[in-house]
Amino acid sequence: MAREKTANPAKATVFAMWRRSPSLTLVIWLFIFPAALAGLGLWQLQRGAETLEGAGAATVQLGQMLEELRQIAAENPDEPISFEGSAITYTATEAVTEVEGALGSYQTDLNVSRVRSPLAWGTIGGAVVCLVGAVLGLLASRVAGLRARRSRDQLIRSFQRLRVGLPVAMAVVVSGFSVAVVCATVFEAISLWFWDEVSGNALKLAGAGIVLAGLALYGAFTAILGLRQVFALFTPQPRDVLARMVTETEAPSLWRLVRELAGGQGALLPDTIISGLADGFYVTEGALRLLPEDRLLEGRTLYLPAPYLELLDTTEIAAIIGHELAHFAGEDTRYSRQFAPIYAGLFRALGALQATDAGALIVQPAARLGFHAVGQFDTAVAHWSRLREFEADRRGSIASGAPGAASALIRSSIAAPAVNLALGQVFANPDAAEENLVHAISRLVAREGLADPAEHLKDEQPHPTDSHPPTGQRIEALGVTLPSILAQATRPHNLETPSLGQRAFADWDAFSRVLSFDFIKEARHAHAQRRQALESAAAAVTEEEVVLYDNAKPMMWTMVVASAIFAVGGVSILVFADQIGFGRDAFAQTLIGAVAVFFTAAFLLYADLIHRRSDKPLMVLTPGHLSCPRLHQPIAWTDVVDYGVYATQRFAVQLALHEDAPLPKVQGFWIYTRVNRRRHLVTIDAFGIRGMKPAEFSDLLARYLHAAYARRELVPATA
């Protein structure tokens, strides 16, 4: 079934990466398919041996026969010769010619059979190599995953070994699977030579074989090229961050605080401190690209969200910074630099490999192996990430105390909704934004208050690379009871109390305005890009109507031919009734004549009905709606949430409408054109679209659908 769909242009759907293949799917791709190829190879080996044996025996037998016939022809060229099973009699000379031709044909069959045998072994060998690679890859990943749970150091060492071994195992799987598929396909393509002896359609079968073999070879080639992405994408790419560097001149007190916190717990001092409006506190040793300056940062970086420097007090911020700096102490530094970025990058590489169009079938076993192998580390990663966060909380509380650290966890969680809401409103309407968004957020929180902490005690802190334990568990691990710090964590925001940002920066207002300007500029740029995309989509269709007709002529002529067959057949049977054997059976003649007349008339009437209907438009497309004579009212494009074009036994287009959209009624009698009111589906059937393939028709509907939603979104901006 050919189906093409388009999602609702008004809504963006986020698809989560499928990180680990289910066990059944893994078994199918890594074991059942290769085993099936091995079984096919054994069958091909048997068939090849039988053909080789038969062609060899026939060649020997015909060779002996040819020698005898040549002797007879030399003595008496006109001596009559007849072959067993044939009623034709040849002269000795003619018999020699016939046997020479047959011998040449069997010798060709013998040569073809000799070529097929290595291909069968290639199918078997490739499948076995694929199975061996899959078994070794699964065993290695299992062992590495188990060792990774022993210690964080073992986690890093095991993953580094897997980084080296996994691409090799995947390459073995891809290579073996490719060889097996190519050899099996080429074997069957060559086998068409023998099928030709039966079908007599040599050119078509040979062409089909060449196409199949070419597709298999192309798929194998592109799959192996695609595997290079796994090696290439192992290196993590710089992550874009909308932020500014905070120099010691701009914030001397902030740098002094960070130095004191780092020295107090024996952590490495960050090379760079940056600040922006979005995200939460974090540290990283991965490469960052600061926007809008397009500045590349490497080394240890501490990110501070500016709004939180207004909403949290010094003790809470010190606890959070101390927590983040703890990741630069001990094994956390090595973990952050050598494992976390590469671990995430490997998943991106495998996703890109699996999503490749070319060679997608052949690359699937290797991609499934890769996801499963890396997925073996998930449990260990979650375990050590959990422990490292608890340890970082403990280290962070050294300077601020456990109550301050617990209060910081709660207050940062309940402040996040207000910050996200304010920034979301600015991004939606940047022209109405204030010049200092940090102060605007501060006033919003002072006026509206913070969120209910009960709803956020199970939240995980936002972080670009790692997952964090729930807030409630982290507070419990600090040895603090919730009631004792709840009042402090949920205190009203006081605009009169100087914030850490105001005290730590030389000119906090100016720095906040720079961050706000960058954010607003980025929002405006995103709006401009969005508007450009909408205008392009809206301009993709013209105001002129597009009239589409049912492609009924092929079916109409089929009915005419069928009618003619019944008419000619009926007349022929009646004319030659005596020869057929029922010339004296009047009832049989009457019955045959009646059946012939009935089907002849029925097919002609149906052909006429199709012809008359094909002259009328099937549907008319305008920028605003789709109309169909079979429906009593047009369907607005903005009422359509999804659509599908089907081209199997019958051609049909199915429109899924919004729940509140008006549903049309079907006019006249149509077997397949119908309206499903419960599911809000409208189905219009046809024989096809005249002058269009199903894919072209689907693309046309997509353009009109996107254009309608784009125009509706552009109306407020142009009003």
Residue 142 pLDDT > 80, yes or no? yes
pLDDT in tens, 423-446: 999 999 999 999 999 999 999 999
Between 252 and 393, the more confident residue is 252
Q: How far, in Å, CA of 378 to CA of 374, rounded?
A: 7
Q: What was the pLDDT predicted at 198?
A: 43
Q: Specify whether the CB–CB gap between 391 and 326 falls below 8 A.
A: yes
123 Cβ contact partners less than 8 Å away, ≥ 6 residues apart: 37, 38, 40, 41, 44, 179, 180, 183, 184, 187
Q: Specify whether the CB–CB gap between 114 and 185 falls below 8 A.
A: no
Highest mean pLDDT among 145-149, 292-296, 324-328, 400-404: 292-296
Residue with tokens 């069958």: 43
Confidence of residue 710 (pLDDT cuts 50, 70, 90): very high
Q: Is the pTM of this model over 0.75?
A: no
Q: What was the pLDDT predicted at 145?
A: 81
Confidence of residue 224 (pLDDT cuts 50, 70, 90): low
Residue 225 pLDDT > 70, yes or no? no
**What is the per-residue DSSP string for 207-258?**
HHHHHHHHHHHHHHHHHHHHHHHHHHTTSPPPEEEE-EE--TTT-HHHHHHH
The structure tokens listed for 320 are: 């959070």
Between 280 and 206, the more confident residue is 280
Residue 11 pLDDT > 50, yes or no? no
**Alpha-carbon separation of residue 33 from 27, 227, 513, 539 (angstroms):** 9, 20, 61, 48
Q: What was the pLDDT predicted at 582?
A: 66
Q: What was the pLDDT predicted at 457?
A: 66
Please count the residues of the chain: 719
pLDDT in tens, 44-71: 888 888 878 877 787 888 788 888 878 8
pLDDT in tens, 611-620: 777 788 899 9
Q: What was the pLDDT predicted at 353?
A: 64
Listed range (89-98, 161-170, 215-224, 383-392) with the worst mean pLDDT:
215-224
Residue 626 pLDDT > 90, yes or no? yes
Residue 195 pLDDT > 60, yes or no? no
Residue 589 pLDDT > 50, yes or no? yes
Q: What was the pLDDT predicted at 197?
A: 47
Average pLDDT over residues 256-263: 93
Confidence of residue 238 (pLDDT cuts 50, 70, 90): confident
Between 73 and 105, the more confident residue is 73
Average pLDDT over residues 162-177: 82
Q: What was the pLDDT predicted at 220?
A: 63
Residue 194 pLDDT > 80, yes or no? no
Highest mean pLDDT among 480-489, 521-530, 613-622: 521-530
Query: Could you give the 3-state DSSP secondary structure of residue 477?
Result: helix
Residue 705 pLDDT > 90, yes or no? yes
Phi, psi of 401 (to 5 degrees): 85, 155
Query: Could you give the 3-state DSSP secondary structure of residue 550?
Result: strand
Confidence of residue 22 (pLDDT cuts 50, 70, 90): low
Confidence of residue 307 (pLDDT cuts 50, 70, 90): very high
Average pLDDT over residues 674-703: 91
| DSSP code at position 30 | I
Percent of the chain past pLDDT 90, that is, above it, reads: 35
Residue 333 pLDDT > 60, yes or no? no
Q: What was the pLDDT predicted at 20?
A: 42
304 Cβ contact partners less than 8 Å away, ≥ 6 residues apart: 246, 254, 273, 274, 275, 281, 321
Per the prediction, the chain carries an average pLDDT of 81
Highest mean pLDDT among 17-26, 138-147, 152-161, 362-371: 138-147
Q: What was the pLDDT predicted at 327?
A: 79
Residue 291 pLDDT > 80, yes or no? yes
pLDDT in tens, 632-682: 999 999 999 999 998 876 788 999 999 999 999 988 877 778 899 999 999
Q: What was the pLDDT predicted at 639?
A: 95
Q: Is 335 exposed, middle or buried (0-12, 13-18, 19+ CB in 10 A)?
A: buried
Residue 205 pLDDT > 60, yes or no? no
Q: How far, in Å, CA of 606 to CA of 612, rounded?
A: 10
Confidence of residue 479 (pLDDT cuts 50, 70, 90): confident
Between 376 and 31, the more confident residue is 31
Listed range (195-204, 333-342, 477-486, 506-515) with the worst mean pLDDT:
195-204
Q: What was the pLDDT predicted at 586?
A: 75
472: nearest Cα among 533, 393, 551, 416: 393
Residue 21 pLDDT > 50, yes or no? no
Average pLDDT over residues 127-145: 89
Residue 233 pLDDT > 80, yes or no? no
Strand partners for 550? 689
Between 4 and 416, the more confident residue is 416
pLDDT in tens, 77-91: 888 877 776 667 788
Q: What was the pLDDT predicted at 464?
A: 42
Residue with tokens 């939180």: 308
Helix 340-354 crosses helix 152-199 at what angle (to 10 degrees)? 10
